[in-house]
Amino acid sequence: MASPRASLLLLSVPARLLLASIPLVALWLAVLWAVALP
């Protein structure tokens, strides 16, 4: 049986990855936008 702390850790890892990826996605969109504009 998993402990509450372990399940909370398993849920927090994807959340941290998602929050960390937001600036990267925004940066990629800015780069693609800059490249697509004439």
Q: How confident is the prediction along the chain (38 residues), in pLDDT tens digits per residue?
A: 568 888 888 889 988 999 999 999 999 999 999 999 87
Q: What is the pLDDT of residue 29?
A: 96
Q: What is the pTM of this model?
A: 0.52
Residue type present at position 23: P
Q: How far apart are CA 36 and CA 29, in angstroms?
A: 10
Of 29, 6, 25, 5, give the one whose Cα is nearest residue 17.
25
Look at residue 1 in the predicted model and tell me its pLDDT: 57
